[in-house]
Amino acid sequence: MFDFVRKHTRLFQFLLLILILPSFVLLGVEGYSRFMDGSNAGVATVDGRKITQAEWDAAHRQRVDQIRQQMPNVDPKLLDAPELRQESLDQLLRERVLQSAAKEQFLTISKERLQTLFRNDPQFAFLRNPDGSVNKAVLAAQGMSSEMFAQRLRQDLTLRQVLSVVGDSALPTEASASLAFDALLQQREVQVQRFLAKDFAAKLNPTDAELEAYYKQPAVAQRFQLPESADIEYLVLDIDALRAGVSVNEAELRQYYETNVARYTVAEERRASHILIKAGEGASADEKAKARARAEALLQEARKNPAGFAELARKNSQDEGSAARGGDLDFFGRGAMVKPFEDAAYALKQGEISNVVSSDFGYHIIMLTGVRGGDKRSFDSVRAEIEAELRRQQAAKRYSELAEQFSNMVYEQSDSLKPAADKMGLKIQTATVQRKPAAGATGALSSAKLLEAVFGTDALNNKRNTEAVETGPNQMVSARVVQHRPARVPALADVRNELRTAWVAEQAKALAVKAGEQRLADLRKGGDAAGLGEAQVLSRAKPDPLFNGKLLNDLMRTDASKLPAYAGLDAGADGYVVVRINRVLPRDPAVVDAKRAAQQYAQAWGAAEAQAYYGALKAEHKAKITAPQAALAASAPQP
């Protein structure tokens, strides 16, 4: 087939031209590009404007990157889950709805308010330098500049305004909060009689006929059904697989060390104390002159008595963050402070006091109190690191060279993985897999994309290699089905013990329920209370170890308007519980602080109001998800 194509290249070019040209004529170049590129397909709409597949993918990649930064060891399967993709789309839809609402309501955030919020909100403390400026080093680690951060913060605060108008207006009273908590934390004095399935199980001994009849029930057989599976061979091309075949010599190691010596030098950090006299951007020339004169006077005092610098800072510095510490700013590296401050601090010797330094915040007097770092690690101490890095780099380069060749070989020689393995020095691995990744699966076998290819028609029916699937950054995998086993119900003899256990459990539970319901009926008719346990007080705040979760909630929902009240409660696999409610008691006042309860209730109320308002905004702005279910279930493209 490939020989025929090569020999008739011109013929195929002419045929393709005939097929493609009419599309350009009818649709135009832009229309044809959109037709061929599914990335512009709409997955949701807001006010008639669509959210494209490409935008959804980008939003999901950003969400995945954030999760990886926060949790480096996160299970890759969780990042590929349909639920996370759904959350990404929901969040993107929410942003668009709130953007439309903010624009309609002419909401915005001024520069002054943005700066005030940044300097005073505790959640931004990790991003602030001691002098109140933005820590650019922290932002750079997140891949952002200060301008990008300001833009994102402004947009986030603007969108928050839309819902806070409603959410912050919720004003439930302390009385309404108390009423709600009274209902939630009400106490009930009860007596309990348990009918445990295990007590009935010992009397049960099923016959072969009973087990056979039980196994013939479709619902029972389905519980024992063995899932579809396949024995596969698979080949992984990634940097780790190629690293073993890479070698580096001593000259390369030493050259890399000399070129990158800065990487093996501990960054110098300096510790300083300062006195700040404020004179911000909005200060007049007269105010700035007075502030500088004040700073110059303090400088003279500091130089007369350097040992008293800390006390001088405590009494005079206008930097609220450091004044209480005698002006101490702790250790900082380059890029952490505003440039005039940094330049002055790095020009000082330990114990020296600077001249008055001007910055956007005012006038500083700086004393250098400590220096650390700046030491260079020896070649021998970092040799292993350099060798590992060079191996990784060469393996990455080798991967780039082999990726296309790997993809072509497993496709063109689709009856075996061996040619590709031999050519590239890779090891053929084996595994048994199902259509979904197994719990705890790692690496290539945790990829839903690979398993989808394994269970594709061509791989199953024709036993061909799968196409090369990208299962992660710098990782490609091809697999081949050796043996396929459809989903099947095993013979009764193979599951007899498990089947008997299930039959006994089901019958014992039925007997426990029957006995419990009979006892409940007797009690409601005025039967003897013998058998009921000692009276005990239960509530959601003080659950009993044997009476919690759903059982406790069912008890607290039981109508107790007429006492004594009786109830029969399903205890799940444990059996059945009969309860007599003797008294209903108010909540224990020690359990919940009234003031704190009112605050929590107000927060919950406000969140509910905001969510309801968002629902109304979605309807107003005609927001809806149009992506088919298959798209929602699809895995996100690997970043």
**Could you read off the pLDDT of 134-180 as tens digits, one per residue?**
777 766 766 677 777 777 878 887 788 878 777 666 666 666 666 67
* pLDDT exceeds 60 at position 578: yes
Is the CA virtual torsion 97, 99, 103, 105 positive or negative? positive
Best mean pLDDT range from 248-262, 382-396, 573-587: 573-587
pLDDT at 16: 38
Band (pLDDT 50/70/90 cuts) for residue 381 is: confident
* pLDDT exceeds 50 at position 38: no
Of 368 and 258, more confident: 368
pLDDT at 345: 92
Write the Ramachandran bin of 106: left for phi over 0, alpha for psi from -120 to 50, otherwise beta. left
Residue pLDDT, tens place only, 80-96: 778 888 888 888 888 88
Average pLDDT in the 225-233 region? 93
Of 389 and 201, more confident: 201
* Closest to 574 (Cα-Cα) out of 198, 191, 192: 198
pLDDT at 527: 82
* pLDDT exceeds 90 at position 264: no
d(CA 618, CA 616): 5
pLDDT at 172: 63
Percentage helix, strand, coil for the chain under 3-state DSSP, each rounded to 5: 55, 15, 30
Residue pLDDT, tens place only, 407-419: 999 999 999 999 9
* Host H or E run for residue 347: helix 339-347
Contacts of 120 (CB under 8 A, 6+ apart): none
Residue pLDDT, tens place only, 599-629: 777 777 778 888 888 888 888 889 888 876 4
Average pLDDT, the chain: 82
Residue 523, CA distances (Å) to 297, 506, 544, 548, 584 in order: 92, 26, 24, 24, 19
Burial (0-12, 13-18, 19+ Cβ within 10 Å), 558: middle
d(CA 598, CA 595): 5
Percent of the chain with pLDDT over 90: 36
Taking the mean position of all CA atoms in its chain, how far away is CA 502?
Answer: 38
d(CA 170, CA 259): 62
Cis peptide, bond prior to residue 564, ω within 30 of zero: yes
pLDDT at 7: 42
Inter-residue contact 172 to 609 (CB < 8 Å): no
pLDDT at 306: 92
Of 34 and 231, more confident: 231
Output Rg (C-alpha) for the chain, integer angstroms: 36
Q: Tokens for 623? A: 């927001």
Average pLDDT in the 431-436 region? 92
**Whole-prediction pTM:** 0.49
Name the amino acid, one letter, at 196: L
Band (pLDDT 50/70/90 cuts) for residue 299 is: very high
Of 460 and 108, more confident: 460
Backbone angles phi, psi at 26, to 5 degrees: -80, -40
Band (pLDDT 50/70/90 cuts) for residue 124 is: confident
pLDDT at 27: 34
* Host H or E run for residue 78: helix 76-79
Band (pLDDT 50/70/90 cuts) for residue 420 is: very high
* pLDDT exceeds 60 at position 33: no
Inter-residue contact 621 to 572 (CB < 8 Å): no
27-41, 550-564, 568-582: least confident range: 27-41
* pLDDT exceeds 50 at position 36: no
Of 577 and 378, more confident: 577
Inter-residue contact 57 to 627 (CB < 8 Å): no
pLDDT at 130: 66
Q: Tokens for 49? A: 């404007």
Contacts of 401 (CB under 8 A, 6+ apart): none
Name the amino acid, one letter, at 231: D
* pLDDT exceeds 60 at position 637: no
Largest CA distance in the chain: 104
pLDDT at 544: 80
Helix axes 53-70, 82-104, angle to 10 degrees: 110
* pLDDT exceeds 60 at position 288: yes
Average pLDDT in the 542-558 region? 84
Band (pLDDT 50/70/90 cuts) for residue 2 is: very low
pLDDT at 131: 66
Helix axes 146-167, 594-620, angle to 10 degrees: 100
pLDDT at 483: 94
Contacts of 325 (CB under 8 A, 6+ apart): none
d(CA 228, CA 485): 6
d(CA 341, CA 354): 10
* pLDDT exceeds 90 at position 292: yes
Residue 251, CA distances (Å) to 61, 258, 264, 386, 416 in order: 41, 11, 18, 12, 41
pLDDT at 143: 67
pLDDT at 19: 37
Q: Tokens for 95? A: 């942003």
- Which long-range contacts (C-beta less than 8 Å, at least 24 apart) are formed by 389-394? 389/256, 390/246, 390/248, 390/252, 390/253, 390/256, 391/243, 391/246, 391/248, 392/239, 392/243, 394/246, 394/248
Average pLDDT in the 544-564 region? 86
Percent of the chain with pLDDT over 70: 86
Best mean pLDDT range from 3-17, 104-118, 214-228, 239-253: 214-228
